[in-house]
């Protein structure tokens, strides 16, 4: 090793950047997923060192994390020039997680003398749960998501969510890091590793050469045995959980994937073009597969708004007629808003699940919702699901209701109102729990919706995600978003159907297998034959107990570190 490379390896920034580079390469677009098992190793090695090199080592760790998230989330800048600010701010926030991970792990290893193969995965998993909740939460690009093709491995998600896969990967990485030499100058960490050997030497001052070879050779690799046992147990569980026969077939669903860039969608002059584009694709699906039980359009691709109203909705200030006349007028508006949707279902001869914008007239004024409804050829309109978890700066701006000028710095013309409850939609024998856009990115959001419906005695058989990823021009966001659907299907043990503008539309079964997938930024139609999955899910029943325990342990480590800092002589 050259002196320059040796200095780089002994620094803090060098290993931190190496870990970030491996992590980034494991994600799309490179998608070199085996590297995910190595990515945490340099960071864990830093946690084992007695001291971190440099005057400001944690700033170096933050910089490596900032550069990683800047590269991984580069697609955030694409929808609007103002997003460059949000992209940088989000990367700056997420860059705090690597130094926190290393710092908390060091407290466990050096202050509490805990084994790194336990501390590192616990801290990582706890921080992943925090990342899923703080600032409305985001889990795109999670470490465990890189393994979505390894179907046997990801089955543990029905126990602890996708966080369980994160735990397994970091556990194995910690075992690999434990087999590496601690590093020059790290006397305290080396002392921890050497104490058992020194004690044995005192008992047996003249070890035989063979025993010394055994001690220095084979025993140094005991973490590999532990890692193999962990991985073997997880894969055995996955094999056991996949050995199940599906129940009865519930219906055939046509997933409609158009390819409309978001500028066209936002251009009101292009409404007819968007509608005819999706109508032609829907007609093609109905011709190819006669007798479809449901046709699904992506989020807000049905451009004619749906109207609804509260009984106490007052007339607008410019209304010059009697209040009773306004109520009659409002009833006509609501009825007329349904007619285009019903006409579409009649022309297709099949029920349609549509992503639509809703204008709701209430006592507080007109509110806008991002909604999903089912319409049937005989003119029935289902209950409406309104998106519950909105995207920060994408669907609402904090405090914009008080200071409207804040919205000028975003692509938003107006903010959306959050829905208040999950809804079960039914079409024939299909019992559907819809979700919209980035709602399926967050495990707790989908789990809470399904668990609520189960508690009400209305358990769904299939999850359906309606999304418009036309904001991102075929970038790696499409890949990351699709993988989130894979894990939500395993966590809930229910098939997941995705209808996505510009892709990726998909049919995913309860094991997380992608049985059909649309192309990138091209129109297509997919057929999904949905069957009932009879398996129960521990994650659906008990929630984030596993990752929550890891988060509590991480907080306790932080408190230990704060207490030690407080007692340190000034």
The answer on 395 and 425 residing in a single domain is: yes
* Structural domain count, the chain: 2
458 three-state secondary structure:
coil
**Could you tell me the CA-to-CA distances from 528 to 59, 345, 385, 400, 508 in Å, in that order?**
49, 19, 22, 41, 9
Q: Are residues 344 and 481 in the same domain?
A: yes
d(CA 63, CA 20): 10
Q: How confident is the model over 352-362, as pLDDT tens digits?
A: 999 999 999 88
Helices assigned H by DSSP within 409-522: 443-455, 477-492
Instruction: Say whether both 398 and 270 belong to one domain.
Output: yes
CATH number at residue 270: 3.60.110.10
Is the Cβ–Cβ distance between 9 and 15 less than 8 Å? Answer: yes
Exposed/middle/buried for 205, CB within 10 Å: 0-12, 13-18, 19+? exposed
Q: How far apart are CA 270 and CA 293, in angstroms?
A: 29
Please compute the mean of the pLDDT values over residues 273-292 and round it to a whole number: 94
Please check whether residues 392 and 367 belong to one and the same domain. yes
Task: Write out pLDDT tens, residues 72-119.
Answer: 999 999 988 888 988 999 999 999 999 999 999 999 999 999 999 999
Asked whether residue 474 falls in the same domain as residue 554, the answer is: no
Residue of 178, 155, 256, 189 whose CA lies nearest to 539: 155
497, β-bridge pairs: 464, 507
Percent of the chain with pLDDT over 90: 72
Structure pTM?
0.90
> Is there a single domain that holds both residue 561 and residue 514?
no
Residues 269 and 418 in one domain: yes
Burial profile 33-71: b = 16 or more Cβ within 10 angstroms, e = fewer: bebbbbbbbbbbbbbbbbebbeeebbebbbbbbbbbbbe
Asked if residue 539 belongs to a domain, the reply is no
Q: If we measure between CA atoms, which residue out of 171, 181, 219 comes closest to residue 197? A: 219
Q: Is the peptide bond before 428 cis (omega within 30 degrees of 0)?
A: no
Report d(CA 460, CA 455) in Å as an integer.
11
What mean pLDDT comes out for the span 483-497?
98
Burial of 381 (0-12, 13-18, 19+ CB in 10 A): middle
Poorest-pLDDT segment among 26-40, 61-75, 226-240, 251-265: 251-265
Same-domain status, 179 and 114:
yes
pLDDT in tens, 503-554: 899 999 999 999 999 999 999 999 999 999 999 999 999 999 999 999 999 9
Q: Indicate whether 22 and 145 sit together in one domain.
A: yes
Structure-derived torsion over alpha carbons of residues 67, 69, 73, 76, reported in degrees to the nearest 10: -80
Q: Is position 81 within any domain?
A: yes
pLDDT mean over 268-293: 91
Give the chain's mean pLDDT.
89
What is the tens place of the pLDDT at every residue in 162-201? 999 999 999 999 999 999 887 543 443 344 444 444 555 5
Q: d(Cα 318, Cα 333) in Å, to the nearest integer?
A: 17
User: Is the pLDDT confidence value at 490 over 90?
Assistant: yes
Q: In this structure, are 239 and 297 located in the same domain?
A: no
| Percentage of the residues of the chain whose pLDDT score is greater than 70 | 88
Q: pLDDT tens digit string along 431-461?
A: 999 999 999 999 999 999 999 999 999 999 9
Extract the tokens encoding 325.
């006349």
List Cβ neighbours of 322 (8 Å cut-off, separation of 6 or more): none
Beta pairing class for 514-517 and 302-309: unpaired
Tell me the per-residue pLDDT of 316-359, one tens digit each, with 9 for 90 and over: 777 777 777 888 888 898 999 999 999 999 999 999 999 999 99
pLDDT digits 0-9 by tens, 404-426? 555 555 555 567 888 999 999 99
Helix axes of 222-242 and 162-179: crossing angle, nearest 10 degrees: 160
The phi, psi pair for 312, rounded to 5°, reads: -95, 10
CA 512 to CA 1: how far, in whole Å?
Answer: 44
At residue 268 the predicted structure's pLDDT band, cuts being 50, 70 and 90, is low
Determine, yes or no, domain membership for 487: yes
Q: Is residue 215 part of a domain?
A: no
Residue 194 near residue 168 (C-beta atoms within 8 A):
no
Which residue in 490, 509, 485 sits closest to 436, CA to CA?
485
Mean pLDDT of the 27-48 span: 97
Between 130-134, 166-170, 421-425, 562-566, the lowest mean confidence (pLDDT) is in 562-566
560 and 484 share one domain:
no
pLDDT at 190: 46
Using an 8 Å Cβ cutoff, are 117 and 123 in contact?
no
Q: Identify whether 394 is part of a domain.
A: yes
Whether the predicted pLDDT of 208 surpasses 90 = no
Structural domain span for residue 10: 3-189+228-243+547-567
What backbone phi and psi angles, to 5 degrees, belong to 55? -75, -35
- In this structure, are 106 and 124 located in the same domain? yes
Q: 474 in the Ramachandran plot: left (φ > 0), alpha (ψ -120 to 50) or beta?
A: left
376 located within any domain = yes
Largest pairwise CA distance in the chain: 105
In a domain, 205, yes or no: no
DSSP result, 235-285 = HHHHHHHH------EEEEEEEEE----HHHHH-GGGHHHHHHHHHHHHHHH
Answer whether residue 542 is part of any domain: no
pLDDT of residue 342: 95
Q: Helix H segments across 262-413?
A: 262-266, 271-288, 323-348
pLDDT at 406: 56
Per-residue pLDDT, averaged over 7-12, amounts to 88
Residue 14 phi/psi, 5° resolution? -60, -60
| 40-48 helix and 162-179 helix, angle to the nearest 10 degrees | 60
Answer for the pair 476, 446: CB distance below 8 angstroms, yes or no: no
Closest alpha carbon to 64 in 34, 36, 94, 44 = 94
pLDDT band at 264 (very low <50, low <70, confident <90, very high): very low
């Amino acid at each position: 090793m050259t002196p320059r490379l040796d200095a780089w390896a002994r620094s803090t920034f060098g290993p931190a950047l190496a870990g970030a580079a491996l992590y980034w390469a494991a994600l799309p677009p490179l998608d070199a997923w085996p590297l995910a098992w190595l990515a945490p190793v340099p960071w864990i090695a830093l946690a084992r060192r007695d001291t971190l090199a440099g005057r400001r080592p944690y700033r170096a760790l933050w910089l490596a994390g900032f550069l990683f998230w800047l590269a991984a989330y580069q697609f955030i800048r694409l929808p609007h020039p103002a997003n460059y600010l949000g992209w940088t701010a989000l990367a700056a926030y997420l860059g705090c997680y690597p130094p926190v991970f290393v710092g908390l792990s060091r407290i466990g290893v050096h202050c509490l003398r805990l084994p790194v193969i336990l501390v590192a995965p616990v801290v990582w998993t706890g921080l992943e749960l925090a990342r899923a909740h703080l600032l409305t939460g985001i889990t795109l690009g999670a470490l465990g998501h890189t393994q979505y093709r390894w179907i046997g491995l990801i089955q543990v998600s029905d126990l602890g969510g996708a966080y369980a896969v994160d735990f397994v990967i970091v556990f194995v990485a910690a075992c690999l890091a434990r087999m590496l030499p601690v590093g020059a100058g790290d006397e305290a960490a080396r002392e921890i590793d050497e104490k058992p050997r020194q004690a044995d030497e005192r008992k047996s001052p003249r070890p035989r050469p063979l025993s010394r070879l055994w001690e220095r050779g084979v025993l140094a690799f005991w973490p590999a045995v532990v890692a193999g046992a962990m991985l073997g147990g997880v894969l055995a569980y996955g094999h056991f959980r996949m050995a199940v026969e599906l129940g009865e077939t519930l219906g055939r669903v046509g997933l409609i994937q158009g390819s409309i860039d978001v500028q066209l969608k936002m251009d009101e002059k292009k409404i007819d073009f968007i509608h005819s584009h999706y109508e032609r694709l829907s007609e093609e699906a109905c011709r190819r597969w006669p007798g479809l039980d449901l046709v699904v359009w992506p989020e807000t691709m049905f451009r004619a708004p749906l109207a609804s109203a509260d009984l106490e909705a007052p007339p607008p200030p410019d209304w010059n007629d009697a209040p009773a006349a306004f109520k009659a007028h409002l009833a006509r508006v609501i009825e007329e808003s349904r007619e285009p949707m019903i006409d579409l279902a009649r022309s297709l001869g099949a029920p349609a699940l549509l992503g639509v914008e809703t204008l709701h007239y209430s006592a507080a004024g007109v509110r806008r919702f991002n909604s999903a409804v089912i319409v049937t050829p005989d003119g029935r309109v289902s209950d409406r699901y309104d998106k519950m978890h909105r995207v920060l700066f994408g669907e609402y701006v904090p405090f914009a209701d008080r200071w409207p000028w804040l919205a000028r710095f975003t692509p938003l013309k107006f903010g959306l109102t959050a829905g208040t409850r999950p809804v079960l939609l039914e079409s024939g024998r299909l019992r559907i729990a819809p979700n919209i856009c980035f709602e399926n990115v967050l495990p707790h959001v989908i789990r809470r919706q399904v668990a609520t419906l189960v508690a009400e005695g209305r358990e769904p058989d299939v999850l359906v995600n309606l999304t418009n990823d036309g904001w991102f021009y075929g970038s790696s966001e499409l890949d990351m978003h699709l993988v989130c659907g894979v894990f939500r299907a395993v966590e809930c043990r229910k098939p997941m159907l995705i209808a996505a503008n510009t892709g990726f539309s998909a049919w995913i079964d309860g094991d997380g297998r992608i049985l059909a997938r649309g192309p990138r930024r091209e129109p297509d139609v997919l057929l999904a034959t949905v069957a009932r999955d009879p398996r129960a899910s521990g994650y659906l029943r008990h929630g984030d107990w596993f990752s929550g325990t890891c988060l509590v342990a991480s907080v306790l480590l932080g408190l230990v570190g704060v207490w030690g800092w407080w007692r340190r002589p000034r």
